[in-house]
Structure 1
């Protein structure tokens, strides 16, 4: 009995911690003061001239820039930090105390920007190449400064079309580095309009791929393959086309392109490239189920990797190790990952981010996991500890947290409860840290997106000004012809009206899209809230069943039920953040749940669960935990009140290629009689599970189209028995 209570207590702690971690951050108290409008100006203390186009932002909040008069106005809250930033002076910081007026006096650095009194525009004192070189040097650390320098380069009135193409290409490179692929596509296109370069066209094809515009990527790669290409360009095009075919699941064509690229790399004796391509060929063979050829290509990649110790060859070994893991060949996997760690010690890993699978902390984690899968717990412990140490050195909170959790579970399995508890307490602390870091990352990402949008709009404005100046020249020329051609005036008026109408249409479309995005965001928040209610509701209903076994001192039954319940909870928590999961996963979950209910009420009902052999359970998607409330209602409100033993039948079938049908049928007392048999206290309680299910279905159908439909009917004319019919549509 002591062991039962220990296990129960551990699971309860995990569930409570998980539930707390999943709560919305907005529930935390806000200690900031009231909102105010802050006005201010930025003045060069040496010349007493206003400084225009200075970045003014509230940390984690609003953003604006100074006008040509150096003035700015921004909404903030008492206690917020105000940041004044420019490439022309040192960054200034202020804490907002009230709706004060702020005068910022700055000392300009070298190469200042001055004003042209004749047109009120800025004249950069640096050359085009100076700005481009500075942008190229800083954009990986400071995207704002990088784009600012591109804007300053484009403001120079004397730049050529070739220089304009260079500026837009670099701007697109910046977008690509910061994973803003839609902007990269637009800017690569602008570069090509000014001057065509094959190298830029290849980058555009890659940007299409990264933005998941696969068809556009394939079409462009095909066009490029017919051009006269250099060796490196040809290799990039062929491999890029293979990557795109693989992304569209056309694995045969992908293998064809990868093989062609591998021949090119082999002929040029590019060992690391050939190694990488062989791992891609192997992965593609694996995806089409040709294990023999997959193994052959992976072995070839390993042979090549032994000839050269580079980051690329080490990365290829990781791919092969992952393959061994998927085949549960743990000894081969462990051996190869140890070689990866040895190889990493000989290459420069400074540029490898924590998101990369190649990091030492992740490889140590995977070695430990492989040992655990072999039940070699003592061998796994040192590698989990190494993973934690590496994660701490690399400031990788995600791996540190996961490794600490697994270490706690491992100590628990070894019945070393003191160390298990110590590791678990550390894990809880890391969860809290992870939540804070995640909030900071989200705020940083939102601010980055806002900054880049502002900078991009600035560049678009410059481009429009350039086009407008060209139009002014054309208009001046046309005015000379108005005397002889009166009809041109009418054409100009009509053209102006069309531009105004188009502008209004674009504005309306922008407002519509903004409203649609807001509605989508609201739906996501609503779903998150419903899921956060659903999980505790289900968890505590199930815990009541555990409690009943413990209360009756039925230790063996409690242990059995608790073990099955832990397995079920793991499946529930893994799927809790998804809108849709494969139908196969939901079937496994409902099997576990129904088994647990029957385990408790075996004298009340029997059940059957059948799946038609024609139903492709991996092709259909279903919201997680959709069936459980209906099965729960059938047991608790239908058959539990039945005097004789009831029967529950759950059936999965396929109506047509696009439709699957799920029925949950019981021969219980029926819905109306069930209501009359409830106690007064039960009548006061509303079914949270059924209410949440209805709301989730309504929101998901609105977001993804009408993919789910539910109908509830009586089985018999007497009102006894209940049948729930759930219809699923493919997306």
Structure 2
């Protein structure tokens, strides 16, 4: 995609050169063509991008204003389809063009999208600068709609920062501006945003008052789908306020309206599932979650399906239906894989379209060269640059794809190494024993801890890096779960050097767990007296050193009883992960057998270092 942005820059300069003497006005034909793209920009984004680039047939007469509006539309399509990096790059170009054309209104529109894309990419400071500049422009040209959109972006910015008071201030300003505008949908959206902040502040009555204002505005009933969304939001608000009867009324109202308009919306079913889960009525919760799941599957909504499966798995564990929980976990994981594949295919489709566009642009440049001999040298340079960009872009993309494929395979191997089936079933059995003893509080605590551990494994394994603080939290949770299995037959200590700020150091996820597992399973579990486990994290000149040490029976003693294939497998995966970082860290990794004066095994020590530079 980076090469696509560079290509857009080259084309922009090319078109500017070819049309420098033409009047900067947009012809009706181009305006009509772009308006027709509004209906397919989200449903068929690739087709829309191709259509925009096909407008290059106007190259003989195209001017800067038309170039700017074409790029603006392309940037909007990227943004609507979650291609935020591309949207950011394109809109920076459109901003410069509109600034040159002294088109303040469209310059402000570009700033609004730049702000939104920056927020999605986590660039909060840049987003604030774009929003404030858009606000200044809107006030200079006295454009209420642009002003309201600027306030709305500042609202989203402070909402992301969890500064709810400032977020409310800006959304109220947006609301005051829209009061004078005949835009009912935007007014309702603003009221809903305001209510969402009140819910986050646990001011449920204020949120419900806002929704009441929406309901009193009869215009909202003209859009049944919007009405369903509002009823559902009210239901969730009542659910947050623990007023289950009122919540149920609005959820069922949303379901009835859906049936009347023959629409499909799974949200009310999910809301009823949440409600019954809160009430402890697991059968009803399961029924409504399954209804919601059916609708999400019809529309291939992977993220919502995963969330519902997480709830169903929790219910199955609470009901001690562990086989069902395991089956549902397998389905949930397969959906997660489908989601990952779909996202990769989407990126690949965008890349293929970009490649086709580059080919057409190269052909156009070549034809221009044949017909305009006085521009032969310039056209030759442009064509050469385009060909180089195509080759480099394709090479970069294939390299990135191969790297992503390698990382995906390593992730799968890591996940299989982490989620040991024996550990899962033994832990569930331990929890079951506590339940049978009648200790509901302790069993609830261990279920929560075990569920958190499962979630951490699935969440962290898909991340490139996590903070050392998160790693320590997960390994602590894992060790304490193991203590439950073995009835506290060993103690543990985690030592972190004071100079280390665990929240600012980021490492690959789940590095410690395989060696901690080996220490417990192959060392401490077979020790007759009390075992000890030590994790020592210290600072070195180049980064951080990790030491995992136990006083178990030792690898040599245990190997007489069983081949430690799992340990070898985990070590191989660990070395591959270090090699993937390309910092030479695998050279400093070693496993040491500890012995006493008479050469008896007294434990095992694992040492490795991570470079932070």
TM range, smaller chain: 0.5 to 0.7
**Which one of the candidate residues 52, 55, 73 is aligned to 1:150?**
52
Distance between the aligned counterparts of 1:635 and 1:429, measured in 2? 27
Counterpart in the other structure of 1:235? 148
**Which one of the candidate residues 103, 107, 114 is aligned to 1:201?**
107
Are the counterparts in 1 of residues 591 and 605 from structure 2 also a CA contact under 8 Å? yes
**Which one of the candidate residues 266, 269, 284 is aligned to 1:361?**
266
Counterpart in the other structure of 1:218? 128
**Which one of the candidate residues 214, 218, 227 is aligned to 1:305?**
214
State the TM-score, normalized to the length of structure 1: 0.58
Counterpart in the other structure of 1:20? none
Pair 647,507 (structure 1): closer, same or farther in 2 beyond 3 Å: same
Are the counterparts in 2 of residues 668 and 720 from structure 1 also a CA contact under 8 Å? yes
State the 1:205 CA deviation: 2.7
Distance between the aligned counterparts of 1:329 and 1:143, measured in 2? 41
SS in structure 2 opposite 1:687? helix
**Which one of the candidate residues 180, 199, 223 is aligned to 2:83?**
180
SS in structure 2 opposite 1:626? coil
Query: Cα deviations across residues 472-527 of structure 1 (Å, max 9, x unaligned)?
Result: 6578xxxxxxxxxxxxxxxx9xx999989978986886477447524631442242
Are the counterparts in 1 of residues 494 and 534 from structure 2 also a CA contact under 8 Å? yes
Query: Cα deviations across residues 682-712 of structure 1 (Å, max 9, x unaligned)?
Result: 277752223323333443x449x989x9776
**Which one of the candidate residues 517, 532, 537 is aligned to 1:632?**
517
Q: Show the 5 A alignment for 1:500-539.
A: 510=393, 513-514=396-397, 517-518=400-401, 520-535=403-418, 538-539=420-421
Counterpart in the other structure of 1:331? 243
Bigger helix fraction: 2
State the 1:243 CA deviation: 2.4
State the 1:531 CA deviation: 1.9
SS in structure 2 opposite 1:647? strand
Counterpart in the other structure of 2:572? 691
Query: Cα deviations across residues 651-673 of structure 1 (Å, max 9, x unaligned)?
Result: 779x79x988876443345x5xx
CA RMSD of aligned residues (A): 5.7
State the 1:534 CA deviation: 0.8
Distance between the aligned counterparts of 1:715 and 1:611, measured in 2? 22
Counterpart in the other structure of 1:445? 346
Query: Cα deviations across residues 156-190 of structure 1 (Å, max 9, x unaligned)?
Result: 35544244444444344433343334444455556
Distance between the aligned counterparts of 1:191 and 1:600, measured in 2? 61
> Which piece of structure 1 moves more, 377-386 or 713-722?
713-722
Q: Show the 5 A alignment for 1:413-424.
A: none
Distance between the aligned counterparts of 1:340 and 1:592, measured in 2? 37
Give the greater-gyration-radius structure (CA): 1
Are the counterparts in 1 of residues 135 and 150 from structure 2 also a CA contact under 8 Å? yes
Are the counterparts in 2 of residues 659 and 728 from structure 1 also a CA contact under 8 Å? yes
Are the counterparts in 2 of residues 564 and 592 from structure 1 also a CA contact under 8 Å? no
Distance between the aligned counterparts of 1:148 and 1:605, measured in 2? 64
Distance between the aligned counterparts of 1:662 and 1:517, measured in 2? 31
Counterpart in the other structure of 1:48? none
Q: Show the 5 A alignment for 1:385-396.
A: 386-388=291-293, 390-391=295-296
State the 1:590 CA deviation: 3.5
Distance between the aligned counterparts of 2:248 and 2:105, measured in 1? 36
Distance between the aligned counterparts of 2:160 and 2:233, measured in 1? 17
Number of equivalent positions: 559
State the 1:384 CA deviation: 3.3
Pair 471,339 (structure 1): closer, same or farther in 2 beyond 3 Å: farther
State the 1:528 CA deviation: 2.0
Pair 272,611 (structure 1): closer, same or farther in 2 beyond 3 Å: farther
SS in structure 1 opposite 2:216? coil
> Which piece of structure 1 moves more, 461-470 or 510-519?
461-470
Distance between the aligned counterparts of 2:311 and 2:125, measured in 1? 42
Are the counterparts in 2 of residues 279 and 320 from structure 1 also a CA contact under 8 Å? no
SS in structure 1 opposite 2:511? coil
Are the counterparts in 1 of residues 546 and 609 from structure 2 also a CA contact under 8 Å? yes
- Answering whether residue 253 of structure 2 is matched by residue 342 of structure 1, we say yes
Pair 184,245 (structure 1): closer, same or farther in 2 beyond 3 Å: same
- Structure 2's unaligned 5+ residue stretches are 1-27
State the TM-score, normalized to the length of structure 2: 0.67
Bigger strand fraction: 1
Counterpart in the other structure of 2:551? 667
